[in-house]
Structure 1
Amino acid sequence: MRLSQVCRIQVLGYGLLVLMTIGFALQILEIYFPKSSPQIPPLHLVTKKPSPSYRTCQPKQHIMFLKTHKTAGSTILNLLHRYGERNGLVFALPYRYQFNYPYSFQSHDVKGYNVSSGQPYDIMCHHMRFNYQEVRKVMPPDTFYFTILRDPANVAESSFSYYHAYSMAFKKAPNLKAFISHPSRYYRTGDRYNNYARNPVWFDLGFDSDVPFTETYAKSGIRAVENIFNLVLLAEYFDESMILLKEELCWDLNDVVTFKLNSRETSKTLDHEDIKKLREWNKLDWNLYSYFNCTFWDKVERFGRARMDYEVKKLKERRQQLAKLCFEGSGPVMPEQIKEKALIPFQPKNEKILGWVVREDLPHEVRTYCIRMVTPEHQYKDLLDAHQFSLGASNGSV
């Protein structure tokens, strides 16, 4: 056999190997990628496979997520961004990155909102201080409302670290231990950004977080949340929460696969006494969490424990598959290790927020999909904003 024939066979063999590798990657993603411009990552990147024929429900596409602080909300925001982008949905976007927080939400806080234009929005999901009457002006009547809670002791530990340079109550305290021992020594009503220092989730829900605790007040707030929100998730049981969300929204497993975003470099371990004191200091949040912890597990029981275990197992396997395909290393890394500016999360003062490194040896479409899964919320919001309003400029709509 001539050398040229041997080389030709080797080239064909290498080509076949490359095609098989790409095919394997697409098979793992279980998604078909349409052709797209290599210069601009396509906004409608992927076309989801149709749901199996046995599904009788219709996917919900009018969604309002109240993103509470330090409760894994950034990770949920990413999955909503991806779902809306993939399905061509319209977002109610803030002018910057929050809806005029910490002030109570008003419909005019939505970029481009015009009361005379009706209700063209499908998804609302960025930080706000909740105001149901104003949200209703923007979102359709059949909107699905959900939010997420976290043990207030864990919220407090995370908030102290993240907002230490911003909240006056935290700034006055020499360290977390000192704040836990005597929070009232440092906390003053009305001081700048003190909404992060006491009952922050209660505040995000639109209630007064400085009102002295009474059972009557706590129950009235819980009742209001239960009447408005279709689902309340728990950060401590994130995977179970994703399965319940998938079920309620009639979405597919791929729609709720996530990777942890906005996580810190380090966190302090709280002892039993610290947890007890922080729950007492944040008593409105603790009552709220305790109540919805019960309703959460009621929903799990109705869903079925064995079925939940099976679904969570599938979700974890899917996450592992995608992590192996998409990322360098086994987890998030320090921001200085991330070469791509678009993947570096916002860095608050005196804190390191981790991000992800996406493999460079992937086909363009696959790599773009992987990037979307770990794009920080600020960059993703800018991406959606640029697309949505460039379209609006060309067709006269939002």
Structure 2
Amino acid sequence: DTSQASYRLNGSPYNMMKPRTQTPPVVFLKTHKTGSSTVQNLLFRMGERDRATFAFPHHSYQFSYPEKYATSLIGGRPWKCFLPPAIFGCWQLHGGVARGLKQVMPENAVYITILREPLRTFESVFSYYTSTVPSALSLFLESPDAFWDPKEPGNCLGRNPMSFDLGIDSQQWNTTWRTDLSLLEETFQLVMIAEHFDESLILLGSLLDLNMEELAYVRLNTRSLQDVTHLDDDTKDQISAWNTLDVLLYDFFLQIFLEKVEKYGLERLNSEVALLRATTNRIRRKCVARSGVYPEELEDLVRPWQTDTVTILGYQIQKNLTKPEQAFCTRLVLPELQYHAHLYFQQYGRDMRAVPTE
């Protein structure tokens, strides 16, 4: 049964941690192919434990992709946890969106996003979304302007995908980049860096008052190794030249991240990273029977959504778990579509359906 009803989970999340104070309201801007699905799972688990109200788009996994976000998409109520785009959507920050979000989020809301080294980000984005461009990355990079039309909505991720997700106008970049970066720096209390993922989680935990068990994770939405393209030096140079905005964006926030690390204390951070890794490994051993499992070997509940161009791997959980342990472990490995559908049903008392026709 592949209906959404099959995504409803029995039982409450396994409470592996001591009681704690509730976290502040959170806005997580989910960027494409940066490790954001893994962060989203962590926030889903956090929000579910806190009985948070999620600002989900009605009857959908995404907010008006690839149009700009509008407050009317989620209504005017105050939200506890806002994670745009919920699934596979481009959400743009410019055009007054930061102000619009503050109309529906409490004043103490924490704004978070994540960036990844631009070369690997573009390679990953390209492998997922090649329906309108040649399947060979090298062929595309020889003459990208021949395949990429900035006016075509479906091409939104074909150049500077992280900049697009954050709402930077590539057509106005030369004149507005300082303003754009300043706005982003003012908006986000934390821009996580995928290449320093565990360190980013420690800073996230400090920001949201989370303990090590709550920060434990498995990497979600990962590709089969055969679908990852090796990048030689020439290809790297071509990708950098084609994605100059993302390079500038990443370098800017990497420097800010390193400054946060220095302020936090490198010795303290390294000690806590070691503790996080030990805790995560313990929980993975408890929960995960097999990792890197091909989709045909997985049941519907834990089978990741598959694209036409790459194979997305998943996890099998251990058997002989208690019901509370099974509830927690299932959530730990749960793909984003299934977790979204589960939380949507919990919140609205109904499955996600297509918008009713009149």
TM-score interval (norm. to shorter):
0.7 to 0.9
Give the secondary-structure state (helix, strand or coil) at the position aligned to 2:309.
coil
Q: Which residue of 1 aligns with 2:186?
A: 227
Distance 1:269 1:212 in 2: 33
Distance 1:335 1:204 in 2: 28
Distance 2:272 2:18 in 1: 19
Q: TM-score, normalised by structure 1?
A: 0.79
Report the alpha carbon displacement of residue 59 of structure 1 after superposing the two structures with TM: 5.2
1:302 to 263, 283, 298: 263
Is 2:3 the partner of 1:67? no
Q: Which residue of 1 aligns with 2:356?
A: none
Q: Which residue of 2 aligns with 1:144?
A: 110
Is 2:236 the partner of 1:275? yes
* Cα deviation 1:53-110 (Å, max 9, x = unaligned): xxxxx65320000001111110011001000101111111112111112111112222
**Number of aligned residues:** 332
Q: Which residue of 2 aligns with 1:9?
A: none
- Cα 1:47–1:258, aligned 2, differ >3 Å: closer, same or farther? closer
Unpaired runs of 5+ residues, structure 2, are: 1-7, 86-90, 351-358
Equivalent runs, 1:115-264 vs 2, <5 Å: 115=76, 118-119=77-78, 121-127=79-85, 128-130=91-93, 131-165=97-131, 168=132, 171=133, 173-209=134-170, 211=171, 213-214=173-174, 216-264=175-223
Distance 1:261 1:40 in 2: 19
Report the alpha carbon displacement of residue 45 of structure 1 after superposing the two structures with TM: 4.9
Q: Which residue of 1 aligns with 2:297?
A: 337
Report the alpha carbon displacement of residue 125 of structure 1 after superposing the two structures with TM: 0.9
- Structure 1 runs (4+) deviating above 6 angstroms are none
Distance 1:226 1:218 in 2: 12
Distance 2:172 2:98 in 1: 23
2:13–2:327 Cα contact (<8 Å) kept: no
Distance 1:124 1:213 in 2: 28
Distance 2:128 2:163 in 1: 19
Identity %: 33
Distance 2:16 2:345 in 1: 21
1:60–1:144 Cα contact (<8 Å) kept: no
Distance 1:47 1:261 in 2: 21
Distance 2:128 2:271 in 1: 35
Is 2:44 the partner of 1:41? no
Q: Which residue of 2 aligns with 1:387?
A: 346
Q: Which residue of 1 aligns with 2:324?
A: 365
* Cα deviation 1:109-164 (Å, max 9, x = unaligned): 22xx3x3xx42x10001313332122222211111001101111111100111011
Distance 1:174 1:390 in 2: 42
* Cα deviation 1:189-229 (Å, max 9, x = unaligned): 222421111111111112223x1652x42222111100111
Q: TM-score, normalised by structure 2?
A: 0.88
RMSD: 1.8
Give the secondary-structure state (helix, strand or coil) at the position aligned to 1:356.
strand
**Structure with larger Rg:** 1
Distance 1:134 1:42 in 2: 36
- Cα 1:40–1:81, aligned 2, differ >3 Å: closer, same or farther? closer
Distance 1:174 1:204 in 2: 23
